[in-house]
Structure 1
Amino acid sequence: MTARVLWDMVDGPMPRGLLGVGDPDVHDIDGQWTMFLGGFSTRFRNRLYRAKLVEGAWVFDTDSRGRVAALAPDAPRGSWDAGGMHTPSYVPPAGGHGERIYYTGRLTSKHYGPKSRYSIGVLERRDGEWVRRDSPVIVGDSRRSSVLEPLVVYAEGRYRMWYQANPHEVGPGELPDYELRYTESSDGLTGWTPPAVFADSSEGFFDNTVVRRGDEWVMVLARGSNLHGTPDFPEQGLWWMTARHPSGRRSEWSAPQRLLDTDLPGTPSWFGHGTYGPSLAFEDPESATVFFSGTRRAPHWPVLALQRLLRLRRPPVPSPFFLATGSITVDPGVFQRKST
């Protein structure tokens, strides 16, 4: 298993115009490997971006000044996603509908803690532009007011969505309370079925990806990374399961198998506090790559900045935590189906 870092808030490189980038969502679109990402701009906005694999390097869309260009304009002030967009999930044209990107939208100025609030929306491709819908497609409820991390696939005539629901995004000193849910819809916008619990809070799964491979489906799951260095946080890493169909019934999937343990000695520091936002790409029969966001194992910013200055290195931008985006390569044979 080989790990590769692509973009890192601490050691770089970082695309021009971005302070941080994550939530990779990778697809082969018309023979071109394409990655959709969430990013934090130098103007302190959470936006969605696109990069393409060109001669072995990921190249972002840029504007006339060479700065990374967002996929869509910022949401209007006061809207349900005015705080920013992240965690894209691309769906190609299907069921008579065009390309879509489902995403998490933040209402509040707070990114985490009891005052944070998230919903799930969608961008639609119209006349070559990504157009934001004015209303979310999935919202929270009285018990779990935030919904985020959508993963959507179109299969067997249905838009199928897995997403996370929580009371609020975890803040410093808090332990996670994540519930992975499943719902489906014929048009992907309305008529969503009542959400079913796919993984309850005891398992701690934060998000997932689902990819078809031959006559089966592979799911890779991640637990929410330990952003704030909270003691006694659940074990971190990646898990996988397989099924004959992309079912919302957990019983139709194999038992979770550990793919990556980020608590082991020797784990690279750029994802030493865990991974999330997995995306799985089967490049050929002998190559599988899992892309993900990693949380760096590092001291708080003042200490980290001092350490780097003493080594004559530039300190990172002040942040409560430091993220990176990278990948691991694995043997595709790992994902052979196992019965439950």
Structure 2
Amino acid sequence: MSFTPSPLIAEPIWDMLGSRMPRGVLGLSDPDVHLIDGRWVMFIGGFSATFRNRLYRARLPVGAEPGHAGWMLDRHPITPDPPKGSWDAGGMHTPSYVPPHKGRDARIYYAGRASARHYGEGSAYAIGVLTRGVRGEWLRRDVPALAGWPGRASVLEPLVVAVESGYRMWFLATPHEVAPGEQPDFELHVADSVDGIEWEPARRFATTEEGFFDNAVYRTPQGWEMMLARGTNLHGTTPYPSQGLWLMRATRPSPDRADWSVPQRLLDTDVAGIPSWMGRGVCGPSVVPWSDGRRVVFLTGTHDIGPWWQAARFRMVHSRRLPVTSPYFLATGAIDVSI
């Protein structure tokens, strides 16, 4: 299957080096966008002003079409912080919403961090799930839904879709999050579940050599598509695998790689002229497909910028404010492509 992407139209929604961030958060990443009760809703991970990783919700006005403008972030996270000492006490990331299915309420899957370390050896992630309470609140479970294994101790970046047999999850399996100077060791795996709580043994879907970090799986008028990202070069490591987005197609959301077309490059973020906010790559794609071939892709990029003083100069020029001290600077935005 072949396609010809249109010229890139890219705009940030929230940018750590932009003119403003929503009140109470320092950064936002990994958007997950859905039409819920006639209104576009985004679930997203956020780094709060109190230095906690939390899950948030943003919404567009009723009747607005999804794009980069108009999103309003709720002030409070969607669920309280995990208790101290719990498996996800280090923070909650990467939400993946699944609507009600087969008589079961909606779910939000997420990556939870147990360790104090965000990346490098000693960092540890597992995947959890939020379920709805009797008042509609989001409730976390005391145990993860999916954990790592020897050699790949961290699992994160869940993407869950409802299927006829129940639920299907693609996720990243890695020894740990990449530290400065390291090369990524990423594999995508896939697992099935009847009830979305207890998961069957996973199998590998994409190899380390391919290097995919996360994905989006969504229905189109022609079948199903999978958009894949290799992550971002958070720490500016040189050399580093080429970054961007790739696309595959299938007739159904199959767990079998052979049922999907060969990945084709949709976006190359290493070429000249790419906006700074995605200059070190993109991750966390969430796609809204239109019947006319347009795709609105929500994603997170890492600024192609050096030390903090360079970031400070960049932000002072654009907004006359100093940035928060950070080893890297993220932006969440939307790109429009026609396929």
TM-score, length-scaled by structure 2: 0.93
Secondary structure of 1:96's counterpart equals coil
Partner Cα distance (2:157, 2:116) in 1: 18
Partner Cα distance (1:309, 1:277) in 2: 28
Partner Cα distance (2:52, 2:166) in 1: 33
Identify if the C-alpha distance between structure 1 residues 235 and 10 changes in structure 2 by more than 3 Å, giving closer, same or farther.
same
For structure 1, the residue ranges without an aligned partner over 5 or more in a row are 62-67, 335-340
Secondary structure of 2:331's counterpart equals strand
- 1:253 aligned to 2:257? no
Deviation of 1:96 after TM superposition, in Å, equals 1.8
What letter corresponds to residue 83 of structure 1 in structure 2?
A: G
Deviation of 1:228 after TM superposition, in Å, equals 0.1
- 1:327 aligned to 2:334? yes
Equivalence for 1:59: 72
Partner Cα distance (2:331, 2:298) in 1: 11
What letter corresponds to residue 161 of structure 2 in structure 1?
A: V
Secondary structure of 1:319's counterpart equals coil
Deviation of 1:312 after TM superposition, in Å, equals 8.5
Partner Cα distance (1:237, 1:215) in 2: 24
Equivalence for 2:5: none
- 1:154 aligned to 2:167? no
Q: Does structure 1 conserve the Cα–Cα contact (< 8 Å) formed by 2:187 and 2:211?
A: yes
Equivalence for 2:173: 165
Identify if the C-alpha distance between structure 1 residues 308 and 53 changes in structure 2 by more than 3 Å, giving closer, same or farther.
closer
Secondary structure of 2:34's counterpart equals strand
Percent identity, aligned pairs only? 56
- 1:194 aligned to 2:201? yes
Secondary structure of 2:213's counterpart equals strand
1:209-228 aligned within 5 A: 209-228=216-235
Equivalence for 1:301: 308
Partner Cα distance (2:222, 2:314) in 1: 51
Partner Cα distance (1:311, 1:110) in 2: 32
Partner Cα distance (2:319, 2:187) in 1: 44
Identify if the C-alpha distance between structure 1 residues 255 and 286 changes in structure 2 by more than 3 Å, giving closer, same or farther.
closer
1:99-248 aligned within 5 A: 99-126=106-133, 127-190=135-198, 192-248=199-255
Partner Cα distance (1:186, 1:307) in 2: 49
Q: Does structure 1 conserve the Cα–Cα contact (< 8 Å) formed by 2:220 and 2:291?
A: no
Deviation of 1:113 after TM superposition, in Å, equals 0.5
TM-score, length-scaled by structure 1: 0.93
Partner Cα distance (1:282, 1:303) in 2: 37
CA RMSD of aligned residues (A): 1.4
Deviations 1:61-114 (A, max 9, x none): 2xxxxxx21000000000000001010000000022101000000001100010
For structure 2, the residue ranges without an aligned partner over 5 or more in a row are 1-7
More deviation in 27-36 or 166-175? 27-36
Identify if the C-alpha distance between structure 1 residues 314 and 165 changes in structure 2 by more than 3 Å, giving closer, same or farther.
same
Identify if the C-alpha distance between structure 1 residues 312 and 226 changes in structure 2 by more than 3 Å, giving closer, same or farther.
closer
Secondary structure of 1:205's counterpart equals coil
Deviation of 1:285 after TM superposition, in Å, equals 2.9
Partner Cα distance (1:84, 1:249) in 2: 32
Deviation of 1:152 after TM superposition, in Å, equals 0.0
Partner Cα distance (1:307, 1:219) in 2: 35
Deviation of 1:305 after TM superposition, in Å, equals 2.2
